[in-house]
Amino acid sequence: MQIAQVIVDIPTRQTNNPYSYLIPDYLTDQVVPGMRVAVSFGNRKITGFVVAITDKAAFDGKLKPIDSLIDLAPVINKELLQLATWMADKTYSFKISCLQTMLPGGMRTKNQKRLIATEDSVVAAYPKIFHGQHEVDYNRQSLDNQSVTKVLELERQGKIRVEYNLTKHARPIMMKAYQAMLKPDQISGELAGVRKNANGQIRLLDILRQHPGETFLQSKLTAAGVTTSALKTGEQKGWVKATLKRHVRNPFLRPVAHTTPLHLNADQQKAVDQINIDVSDRKNDVFLLEGVTGSGKTEVYLQSIAHALETGRTALMLVPEITLTPQIVGRIRSRFGDQVAMLHSALSNGERYDEWQRINSGQAKVVVGVRSAVFAPLDNIGLIIIDEEHDSSYKQADNPRYQTRDVAKWRAAYNHCPVVLGSATPSLESRARAMKGVYRFLTLPERINHHALPHVSIVDMKTEMAQHQSILSNQLANAISDRLEKHEQIILLLNRRGYSSFLMCRDCGYVPKCPNCDISLTVHKDTHTLDCHYCGHKEPIPSVCPQCHSKRIRFYGVGSQQLEEQVRNQFPTARVLRMDVDTTRRKGSHEAIIDKFGAHKADILLGTQMIAKGLDFPEVTLVGVLNADSALQFPDFRSSERTFQLLTQVSGRSGRADKVGGVIIQTFNPDHYAIQLAKTQDYERFYATEMRVRHDGKYPPYYFTVKLTGNSPSENQTASEMFGILTFLKDNLSKQAIILGPTPKAITRINNQYYYQIIIKYRKEPNLKKTLDQILVDSQKKQRHGLQIAIDNEPLDFM
Ligand SMILES: Nc1ncnc2c1ncn2[C@@H]1O[C@H](COP(=O)(O)OP(=O)(O)OP(=O)(O)O)[C@@H](O)[C@H]1O
Ligand SMILES: [Zn+2]
Ligand SMILES: [Zn+2]
């Protein structure tokens, strides 16, 4: 008797442990860990993941049987099953949400499956399953147990394939195809019987001669000059057999030219050598690769990946959200071709599924992707790279609140391979670890070919604004004219972090606020609405002030649209491209803008954070930052770090090739150290200064942190529950732990829920884990009264 241990899809703390279910006889030896199953739980029908098969139950009572299998092959491999257990524990989340997070979007929902015969014989042999068709919906209800067992067996033998019937777009595409049935020596005989002018048939035989046994998409054959009538004749004469072939969606929009490895400079060579030794020796070091902007980090990644592939292993490379992908993915593909799979948020569910499938089946050996790609089902990983390791998109904001770096390190340990964290401006955490020798430190201190870092100047907008009201300072405007004259390119960054345009009445000061949240509404000119970015509330833009009926109700703040208008007015001959959420909504538009700018078909690229990182355009000699300090006002201990990183990154886009680059930073805080040190691009001094600030303020990396957030529909209830938690923490933690709060969050009310938080700062708290786990267990009971508790281990901010 076999028993399946199942993690059920009921997000409660208790269900982090598996439940036992009997495996019915007809499924003996067919159920494998990593498959999803349907089971009864109480009187509900739910799904779950099989995590183990045992012969003893964890429980004495009578076991319920598994109702049916959802997957016919595992969707989570052994490594990821183990990872889920670690991750649930580490992030104070449910194992079920960890497992679900690992699957590509389209597979997370309950979906239909189709069975596809890969051999004709099975269609005829199992009419009860196939009803004479090559492809059928897999409908558990209409099959008897014997047939289900058979299906599983055939799947394992590779005689049938299972496809997930995703939503319409996500569906695997099966297309009409023909399989070559002739042996090479039969071709001449057949050719003799063909009329001289039957070009289509002659062409078909020609193709069959070159590719015996292969299956071709009909579209490929017709494109090659085989007519449909020739195909019909060929089918009748037994040359080819009609069948279906899967069309793999190709998310790579354009073909790329192949590139060969560059000759490395000495620093690059040293870095590659050290990484490669680790790859060969299966050592599990973490490297911090700190290289100034334009120092050629990407080439180091590429040559290390090549080495991992040479040793027969695979490689995983993570990049921040789509900002980087078009250029970097292009570079990786041009080196490694079709071995590359790409996973990012701009893919459709179907594309993501296809890519996942290519990785899972071992076809793709190199995966490039954003945060969630850290769960790519790659086997035998030889190297993991995290580019721009300081980027905040590597931390997931929702449950499970994982840090990609930590997951990567876990997988590297499992696979006995190194991790490379790369950045021009490493996070303080990583740099501090490198200083302590926990990470190995590699540096690329110079730009490629000894190009100079750009010259940065700072414009004090307080004095500037006193003279004239304009988004562009005189100095920046003059520099733009200068570059336009020289036919060089310009990047203008509008720092939108914590910054948006809102409406205010000039007479009474009224600002429209969201009815559900404690936040002012944002003006969206394209839809002519005021939107709440927290709950989605929308309302029309009023033309008179609802409070005093004045008509002088105006926009404040600058949007990228407004900046574009102003730049076009001031420089009417300049060709301007804008890149922000609005202009990149359509698929492929991001690449299109980058291509156009790269081909110098535009002079000015302006936009939000999207243009700050990773771009490598040799003709850019001026970078302007419109509002450097909009993040500095945030009540966030990382705001200086973020500002410094952003300014250094965006400055690094200037003067990357032979022409010397300049940068102009407009700011209201010209004396702030983050801005002053970004001027000299002096990471070393920034690191030293900021470490002192963190030390004095008892912040990371000197202290570990945890954020507890509670919310409920009643402010009183939220507050009193959080005070209860505070008492519990004080009773269980040591005197050294610093507990801040509970305080209302910066935006206390969101969607009519009131949020309070507690921050814990600590250096060593052996009881912390147990205490927090207990709080989570207790919170399950309180949930009935509408209170939610979330625990964020090492939060990105304290807001
Ligand atoms: N060894 C080399 N010889 C010649 N050119 C090189 C070499 N290595 C890199 N390059 C070129 O130098 C440029 C900058 O390299 P890359 O974009 O990798 O820098 P980076 O360190 O990733 O910079 P950033 O952090 O600013 O994105 C690229 O155009 C790249 O092709
Ligand atoms: Zn008013
Ligand atoms: Zn709202």
Minimal-distance CA residue to ligand 1 atom 12 = 296
Token pair recorded at residue 737: 């732990």
| Closest residue by Cα to residue 86 from 395, 411, 398 | 411
Q: Report which ligand 1 atom has the smallest distance to the Cα of 295.
A: 21
> Which pLDDT value is given to residue 715?
92
| Residue 755: strand pairing partners | 711
Ligand 2: centre distance to CA 45 (Å): 56
Token pair recorded at residue 508: 């009474």
Ligand 1: centre distance to CA 269 (Å): 13
Neighbours of ion ligand 3 (CB under 5 A): 514, 516-517, 532, 534-535, 537
Tokens 């899809």 — which residue? 9
Contact 428, 245 (CB under 8 A): no
Ligand 1: centre distance to CA 451 (Å): 11
CATH 1.10.10 domain range(s) in the chain:
173-247
Which of 268, 288, 295, when mutated, tests ligand 1's pocket best, judged by the most ligand atoms within 8 Å of its CB?
295
Which of 297, 299, 444, 683, when mutated, tests ligand 1's pocket best, judged by the most ligand atoms within 8 Å of its CB?
299
From its phi and psi, is residue 258 left (phi > 0), alpha (psi between -120 and 50) or beta?
Answer: beta
| Closest residue by Cα to residue 74 from 44, 102, 46, 114 | 102
Return the half-sphere exposure (C-beta side, CA atoms, 13 A cut-off) of residue 208: 28
Ligand 3: centre distance to CA 558 (Å): 21
Q: Is 295 in the pocket of ligand 1 (CB under 6 A)?
A: yes
Q: Is 619 in the pocket of ligand 1 (CB under 6 A)?
A: no
- 545 belongs to an annotated ligand binding site: yes
Nearest ligand to the C-alpha of residue 550?
2
Token pair recorded at residue 728: 């519990």
Q: Is 657 in the pocket of ligand 1 (CB under 6 A)?
A: no
Token pair recorded at residue 290: 């700190």
Ligand 2: centre distance to CA 466 (Å): 26
Ligand 2: centre distance to CA 727 (Å): 46
Q: Whole-angstrom Cα distance, residue 205 to residue 662?
A: 63
Q: Whole-angstrom Cα distance, residue 615 to residue 653?
A: 7
Share the mean pLDDT of the chain: 86
Contact 43, 29 (CB under 8 A): no
What is the enclosing helix (H) or strand (E) of 48?
A: strand 44-54
Q: Is 296 in the pocket of ligand 1 (CB under 6 A)?
A: yes
Tokens 């009971």 — which residue? 781
Ligand 1: centre distance to CA 100 (Å): 37
Q: Is 612 in the pocket of ligand 1 (CB under 6 A)?
A: no
What is the sign of the dihedral through the CA atoms of 524, 529, 534 and 536?
Answer: negative
- 517 belongs to an annotated ligand binding site: yes
Nearest ligand to the C-alpha of residue 749?
3
Contact 17, 1 (CB under 8 A): no
479, with CB counted inside 10 A (0-12, 13-18, 19+), is buried
Q: Report which ligand 1 atom has the smallest distance to the Cα of 444.
A: 21
- 505 belongs to an annotated ligand binding site: yes
pLDDT tens column, 37-57: 888 888 788 889 999 999 876
Q: Is 423 in the pocket of ligand 1 (CB under 6 A)?
A: no
Minimal-distance CA residue to ligand 1 atom 25 = 293
The full 3-state SS of 289-329, as one line of letters, equals EEECCCCCHHHHHHHHHHHHHHCCCEEEEECCCCCCHHHHH
DSSP letters along 371-411, please?
A: GGGGG---SSEEEEEEETTT-GGGB-SSSS--BHHHHHHHH
Bridge-based pairing state of the strands 620-625 and 662-667:
parallel
Nearest ligand to the C-alpha of residue 545?
2
Ligand 3: centre distance to CA 610 (Å): 25
| Closest residue by Cα to residue 365 from 399, 335, 387 | 335
Minimal-distance CA residue to ligand 1 atom 27 = 614
Minimal-distance CA residue to ligand 1 atom 14 = 294
Q: Dihedrals φ, ψ of 791, to 5°? A: -115, 125
CATH 3.30.70.600 domain range(s) in the chain:
704-793
| Residue 19: strand pairing partners | 6
> Which pLDDT value is given to residue 350?
78
Q: Is 681 in the pocket of ligand 1 (CB under 6 A)?
A: no
Kindly state which CATH superfamily the domain 266-449 is placed in.
P-loop containing nucleotide triphosphate hydrolases (3.40.50.300)
Q: Where are the alpha helices (DSSP H) in 523-572?
A: 560-570
- Report whether the peptide linkage leading into residue 742 is cis, meaning its omega lies within 30 degrees of zero: yes
* Fold type of domain 455-500+557-693: Rossmann fold (3.40.50)
Which of 262, 290, 324, 681, when mutated, tests ligand 1's pocket best, judged by the most ligand atoms within 8 Å of its CB?
262
- Report whether the peptide linkage leading into residue 172 is cis, meaning its omega lies within 30 degrees of zero: no
Q: Is 710 in the pocket of ligand 1 (CB under 6 A)?
A: no
Nearest ligand to the C-alpha of residue 517?
3
Neighbours of ion ligand 2 (CB under 5 A): 505, 507-508, 510, 545, 547-548, 550
> Which pLDDT value is given to residue 109?
52
* Fold type of domain 173-247: Arc Repressor Mutant, subunit A (1.10.10)
> Which pLDDT value is given to residue 256?
62
CATH 3.40.50.300 domain range(s) in the chain:
266-449, 455-500+557-693
Which of 259, 268, 297, when mutated, tests ligand 1's pocket best, judged by the most ligand atoms within 8 Å of its CB?
297
> Which pLDDT value is given to residue 139?
66
Minimal-distance CA residue to ligand 1 atom 7 = 296
**Confidence check on the interface: ipTM exceeds 0.85, yes or no:** yes
CATH 3.40.1440.60 domain range(s) in the chain:
3-103
Ligand 2: centre distance to CA 511 (Å): 8
Tokens 């030794």 — which residue? 277
- 514 belongs to an annotated ligand binding site: yes
What is the enclosing helix (H) or strand (E) of 538?
A: strand 538-540
Residue 281 to residues 275, 284, 308, 311, 420, Cα–Cα distance (Å):
10, 9, 11, 10, 15
∠ CA 224-227-228, nearest 5°, is 125
Q: Whole-angstrom Cα distance, residue 426 to residue 205?
A: 60
Ligand 1: centre distance to CA 134 (Å): 50
This prediction has a pTM of: 0.81
Q: Which residues of 773-795 are buried (b: 16+ CB within 10 A; e: fewer)?
A: eebbeebeebeeeebebbbbbbb
Strand blocks (E) in 201-277:
215-217, 240-247
Ligand 2: centre distance to CA 552 (Å): 7
> Which pLDDT value is given to residue 530?
87
* Fold type of domain 3-103: GIY-YIG endonuclease (3.40.1440)
Q: What's the CATH code, domain 704-793?
A: 3.30.70.600
Q: State the virtual CA torsion across 343, 578, 297, 258 in degrees, nearest 10.
A: 70
Token pair recorded at residue 140: 């558990």
Minimal-distance CA residue to ligand 1 atom 9 = 296
Nearest ligand to the C-alpha of residue 503?
2
Q: Is 294 in the pocket of ligand 1 (CB under 6 A)?
A: yes
**Residue 262: how many CB atoms within 10 A of its CB?**
13
Ligand 3: centre distance to CA 749 (Å): 8
Token pair recorded at residue 85: 């257990």
Nearest ligand to the C-alpha of residue 510?
2
| Segments of the chain scoring below 50 in pLDDT | 167-172, 252-253, 497-499
Q: Dihedrals φ, ψ of 235, to 5°? A: -70, -45
> Which pLDDT value is given to residue 29?
83
Q: Is 655 in the pocket of ligand 1 (CB under 6 A)?
A: no
Q: Where are the alpha helices (DSSP H) in 486-559?
A: none
Q: Is 768 in the pocket of ligand 1 (CB under 6 A)?
A: no
Q: Report which ligand 1 atom has the smallest distance to the Cα of 448.
A: 12
From its phi and psi, is residue 247 left (phi > 0), alpha (psi between -120 and 50) or beta?
Answer: beta
DSSP-derived letter for residue 521 is: P
Ligand 2: centre distance to CA 553 (Å): 7
> Which pLDDT value is given to residue 134?
76
Ligand 2: centre distance to CA 649 (Å): 41
Q: Whole-angstrom Cα distance, residue 717 to residue 711?
A: 9
pLDDT tens column, 329-384: 788 888 998 899 988 777 777 788 888 989 998 999 999 999 999 999 999 999 99
What is the sign of the dihedral through the CA atoms of 306, 310, 313 and 314?
Answer: positive
For residue 502, the SS3 value is strand
